[in-house]
Structures are given as C-alpha cells and as structure tokens.
Amino acid sequence: MNQPELEALAADAYVYGYPLVAGLTTIDRFVHGGLGVLPATPFNRFAHATRLAGPDDDFVSVNNDVLYSVAQLDLSEGPQLLHVPDTAGAYHVLQFVDAWTDNFAYLGSRATGSAARTWLIVPPGWHGTPADPDRVIAAPTTVATVVGRLACAGPDDLPRVSALQDGLLLEPLEPGGVAAGLPAPDPDVPERLAFFERLRVWMAAYPPAAADRDYQQRFAPLGLLDPGPSPYRAAAPDWTLTLATGLAAGRERVEDATRTPEDHPPGEWRTALHLVDHNTAFLGPGTLDDPEWRIPDRRAAYLSRAAAARAGLWGCHAYEALHAATTDDADGRPLDGTHPYTLRFPPDGLPPAEEFWSLTVYGLPDHRLVANPAARHSIGSRTPGLVRDPDGGLTLHLRHEPPTAPSEAANWLPTPAGPFRPVIRLYRPGPAALAGTYRLPPLHRA
C-alpha cells in the first residue's frame, strides 16, 4: 500500500475510532478525576451531582435543567443489579451507552414509566438465567456508561431530586467479582501516535458490532490489529509521518461534520434529529426499533457517530430529548451580547414538549455557561413568574444587562457580553417536532 493510500486509510480509522477513544478517555477521566459537578467514582457505582451545572463546569454545552447521576459500568465484574426508585411521575431518564457510544437502552418516564423497578445488566455472552427475563439489559461491550438525568426545577427542588438519587443503586448479582478496568495503552508511545495506540488496545478489548468487524479489518496495514507489543513505540519516521498526516485529515473531516453550513437560512434553529441513529445492532429496552431511527449506510453512520461524540458526547436520541441551536439572528447577523434580542413564541407556537422545554445560553467559543448577576442560565416552561403577551404569546428577552420593565425582567435570560449560542431543549418532544413540521421562531435584534 503506497503512502497516499495509507494516509487515506488512517483518516478513515480516525473517523471510525474517534468515538471509542473519546468515550473511553472520558470514562478514564471520570473514574479517576471526576467530571464537572460529578466526583471521581469507581466502576459500578453512581456519581451524583448535588447542584445544577454552572459556569465552573467545563463540560461542553452542559445541561442546566437536570441533575446528573452517572455510572461507569465494568461488567467484567459480572452482571449488575440496578435499582430505580419511584419518581412519582417526575421526568427522568437513564441512558445506556456502550464503549462505541451507541445508545442501546433507556429507562425512565418515556420508556418504562415512573414506578420503582430492579433491572439486571449483563455483559456480552452471558448465559445465566435471570429471575425476570423482561427486566434484562444486555450490554454490547463490557464497559458502558449510564447517564441519568433527573429533572430539577431549581435550588428549591434539590432535596426532592437528592432523595431520588439516594434510591438509584448498583450492586453485583454475585458479590466477590473484580472489575478489570480499562486496559492501559503503552505509555511510551509518542504523543503523535497515542490516538492509534489507544484505538488499537481498546478495539481489541471491546469488539464492535458484527456489521462493523469486516470494515475494521481494513485497518490491519496501520498496525491497529496487531496483538502484543505496540507497533507505534519505535515506529519509523516516515510511517509516523504518514499516520500523523492521515490522523489530521480524519480530524478535519470530523470537525467539518460539526460545523454550521454556510448556506443556512438566517436565524434558523438547527436540529440534529438523526445524529445519534448510528446504532442498528443493539436496540434494548426503551429504544425505538424503527427504520426511521437507523442510519442504514454504515460509512455515513461512522461519520455521524464521530460528529456526535465530538459535538456532544453521550447525547441521547431525539425521541428522548431534542436539541436545537442557532448562532445568528433573523437577519443573519452573529449573535452577540453587545446587542439585546427578543424571542417571541405566538400563542399557538410554544415548543411542543410532552414534559418540558427550556432555553439555555452558552458563551463562545468554549460553549460553557457564563456567570451573571441573576444566576439564571436557562428559562422555559418550568420558570415561575413568566409574563405572557396580551395575545397569550410569550416573548423572551436575551440581553447582557437586565431590562428595566418588570415584565421584561421576568422573561429575561442573561447573555454574555460577547458572542453566544442559545440552545433549546425539548424533553419528550411532540410529534410536530420529531416530524420537522414545527419551526422555532428566529431571534430578533431589539
């Protein structure tokens, strides 16, 4: 294989393997150092957020509507029993994500209801006899992530949600097992090739779906299928340059897939209805096993999976929660906190959500929440005291300085002093949102 062919193959390998490497790197960070509002927590234990996310949290586009409860599973210890408390009808979801970032199960309000239940989570190839076959979640990989989101209306609601978190528990089916943890890549591999070393080791530890295995065999000339000692530890300079060049090309391909199209209509809110529809092989409880929610072209699915991992790791399907974002106003001008904006929903045009909806503002370029005197980072259907327009519509005011009129102050969402990006979230979006027939109104510079 000549150099251009190897570079192209390395670029394909980056797109294919980026979700695995990004996800497992984050899991390793989570277990040993914590993540944002979540403390460092061993495998097979839940880490619970005790406060809503704020400006000090560095997770990209972090959610300010829910309290997170996250567990990293290592089923090499054996099957795990998951106890879910009765949430008394309050919105919650437990999303299960495998090592390749495929969402393979959901528990919660939409999927299984709010009653207390106990589930059995089993590793690949498990042949035991469950006590209740209808309460089994089969993980595609021995390492997986459970992302719990429990709706929290604000600081006053924290005690209620905290009590629910206390009832969210994992315990081994058979005590005495030991979690193996993530296999360690060779630490002596140069940083330029560290991505390929992580991919090589973790691909072997966590095999992909059967539909992907033939495609994965293509990467043998890159050393990604080599067992034993790392081929990258003392790689020849020309081979190193070829792999690094291909890696850079693959990274650019993923970045391009996450950029806003330049020819979009002014002020358009962009949704990614089918960005995470790359899982077609492992559809467990709570997933929708329907052609509408599958990307049939595997090559397209690899790029979509990488873009999803890059733009919002562990994002859920749109049928669970739909996100929409924009970066410009109705006249196509970039949004900037040096100007005030209004967002008006007509009386019959509020976001169609069966649970609730919210609007959150993030600063650019880091996509983080920004401190403001009101300590308000989101506004929406659960915000108390919103003032309706005379015709029954709703006008939100996005601006850096607080409005002087009381009605506008009640509907105020603070923005940073510079560029920003608003995100609207619909929890359990209605049919019009999922069909694409509902259109969010653009922001207007006031």
Cα–Cα–Cα angle for 23, 176, 205, rounded to 5 degrees:
30
How long is the chain?
A: 446
CA distances from 281 to 17, 103, 209 (A): 17, 10, 7
pLDDT at 181: 95
Distance from C-alpha of 219 to C-alpha of 377, rounded to nearest angstrom: 45
Query: Long-range contacts of range 362-366, CB-CB < 8 Å, 24 or more positions apart?
Result: 362/61, 362/420, 362/421, 362/422, 362/423, 363/416, 363/418, 363/419, 363/420, 363/421, 364/327, 364/418, 364/419, 364/420, 364/421, 365/419, 366/58, 366/60
Distance from C-alpha of 219 to C-alpha of 302, rounded to nearest angstrom: 14
- Cβ atoms 183, 202 nearer than 8 A: yes
The model carries a pTM of: 0.94
Quick one: tokens of 199? Answer: 């991919």
**Within 10 A of 400 (CB to CB), how many other CB atoms are there?**
17
Quick one: tokens of 427? Answer: 């929890």
pLDDT at 46: 98
What phi and psi, each to the nearest 5 degrees, are found at residue 145? -125, 135
pLDDT at 405: 94
pLDDT under 50 in the chain at which residues? none
pLDDT at 261: 79
pLDDT at 36: 81
CA distances from 312 to 138, 156, 179, 308 (A): 24, 28, 28, 6
pLDDT at 272: 85
* Cis check: omega of the bond before 365, within 30 degrees of 0: yes
Same fold, 1-315 and 320-445: no
pLDDT at 311: 87
Q: How far apart are the first and last CA of the chain?
A: 60
Return the bridge partners of 415, or none. none
Dihedral of CA atoms 22, 24, 25, 31 in degrees, nearest 10, equals: 140
pLDDT at 324: 95
In sequence order, what are the residues at sequence separation of 6 or more whose Cβ sits closer than 8 angstroms to the Cβ of residue 397? 340, 341, 342, 403, 408, 411, 412, 413, 446
Distance from C-alpha of 97 to C-alpha of 144, rounded to nearest angstrom: 6
| DSSP symbol at 317 | P
- Cβ atoms 63, 158 nearer than 8 A: no
CATH architecture of residue range(s) 320-445: Sandwich (2.60)
What phi and psi, each to the nearest 5 degrees, are found at residue 408? -75, -35
| DSSP symbol at 14 | H
pLDDT at 382: 92
List, in sequence order, every beta strand (DSSP E) within 51-142: 66-74, 80-84, 92-98, 103-108, 117-122, 136-138
Q: Which CATH class is domain 1-315?
A: mainly beta
**Count of alpha carbons within 13 Å of 400, Cβ hemisphere only?**
12
Per domain, the residue ranges of the chain are: 1-315, 320-445
